[in-house]
Amino acid sequence: MTDDQPRHDWTLPQVEALFDLPFMELVFQAATVHRAWFDPSEVQLSQLLSVKTGGCAENCGYCSQSAHFKTGLKAEKLLDADVVIAKAREARDGGAQRFCMGAAWRELKDRDLPKLAAMIGGVKALGLETCATLGMLTPEQAKSLKDAGLDYYNHNLDTGPEYYGDVVTTRTYQERLDTLAYVRDAGMSTCCGGIVGMGETRRDRASLLHQLATLPSHPDSLPVNALVPVAGTPLGDKVKREGEIDGLEFVRTVAVARIVCPKSMVRLSAGRDDMSRELQALCFMAGANSIFVGGKLLTTPLPGQDEDSALFQDLDLRPMRAAGPVDQKLRSVELMGIA
Ligand code: SAM
Ligand code: DTB
Ligand code: SF4
């Protein structure tokens, strides 16, 4: 790794070896890398809004919004731009720095672009960073979104390529990678991560992080979602039968993400509502430096503002002033030979 360019040549066995480190050693290494690139007392705050809920054509086995499963969720139309902008203003006034608009679509349709452009422009005019997650894009659509003022595009790989076929069959891994390439080519920042606790193995988790760490550029934001087991979804029901993932294994995943993608904003995403304060503290120690706030993700709950404010106060954390890593890598990390 050079001073401003993290390494992209991780091998899968090397990533697996990080997972296998003694827990305290792994967290220490991740915390050291975290300190090299970021102020560890700063946490970036993003807020989500579902701008088009339910009725999705994909069969992602974890998702409450897939039309393939009976989850009891009511499908809704794309919200009007003024409704979205009003929600974004509330999010900004509540302390969010980035506003992410999510749609339950397999892919973006050109007919929806004018409405999306109006909402993206309006949210940006509030002084917020803009993010959207709208399914697969064409190169031209990625350029249109960039022109409308979109800063980030979220498109997750969800898991490693080996377990992917157990999660979703209506789109390929390569299609996910292609959309990410169009997003990068259009000059937008990428938000890309996955889900932990879907019944995958540690090797699958390592394989996901290996994919992310060997992309042409590391994701600017790296969401680590803990599966929210939604009744009626194949993976939610499977996990309820077979048991949820151990919290300490989740912390290991966060720590390895921090080490292999040292400059990324590693975000504690779905499932934070079910995590104890102590588990969240361990995740921040292991290098997580971003969260979703505001009481709700897309369709599932999050801690409210009072709870998060109390947690920040008790952990001496504060909202990040400007997104992104600090300029200089600390020499101590080089001297210790980490990353
Ligand atoms: N339809 C678009 C797509 O899939 O790219 C955007 C919305 S989709 C809900 C965004 C991401 O949320 C998914 O890629 C997945 O990683 C995450 N997600 C969805 N349901 C989840 C659940 N029950 N638990 C954890 N993460 C979930
Ligand atoms: C991401 O990785 N997690 C967020 C965001 N990107 C779009 C979405 C989580 C959704 C959790 C399930 C729900 O609320 O429906
Ligand atoms: Fe659709 Fe996205 Fe849910 Fe998959 S994760 S079913 S693409 S909304």
**Mind listing the domains of the chain with CATH numbers?**
12-318 (3.20.20.70)
Does the C-beta of 66 come closer than 6 Å to ligand 3?
yes
- Check 106, 184, 267, 272 and give the catalytic one: 267
What is the C-alpha radius of gyration for the chain, rounded to an integer number of angstroms?
A: 19
Is residue 246 within 8 Å of residue 294, measured between CB atoms? no
pLDDT band at residue 4 under the 50/70/90 scheme: low
Question: For residue 89, what are its two tokens?
Answer: 């203003």
Does the C-beta of 65 come closer than 6 Å to ligand 3?
yes
Protein residue with least CA distance to atom 2, ligand 2: 223
pTM (two decimals): 0.94
Is residue 46 within 8 Å of residue 88, measured between CB atoms? no
How many alpha carbons lie under 13 Å from residue 290 in its C-beta half-sphere? 29
Mean pLDDT, all residues of the chain: 93
Distance, in Å, from the CA atom of 90 to the CA atom of 303, rounded to the nearest integer, reads: 16
Condensed to tens digits (0 to 9), the pLDDT of residues 179-202 reads 999 999 999 999 999 999 999 999
Is residue 270 within 8 Å of residue 230, measured between CB atoms? no
Q: Where are the alpha helices (DSSP H) in the chain?
A: 12-19, 23-37, 81-93, 113-125, 139-148, 161-164, 173-185, 202-213, 234-242, 247-260, 277-285, 305-315, 331-336
State which of 51, 69, 106 you would mutate to test the pocket of ligand 3, scoring each by most atoms of that ligand within 8 A of its C-beta: 106
pLDDT for residue 317 is more than 90: yes
Q: Is the dihedral of CA 63, 191, 102, 112 positive or negative?
A: negative
Is residue 298 within 8 Å of residue 65, measured between CB atoms? yes
Condensed to tens digits (0 to 9), the pLDDT of residues 132-190 reads 999 999 999 999 999 999 999 999 999 999 999 999 999 999 999 999 999 999 999 99
How many alpha carbons lie under 13 Å from residue 97 in its C-beta half-sphere? 14
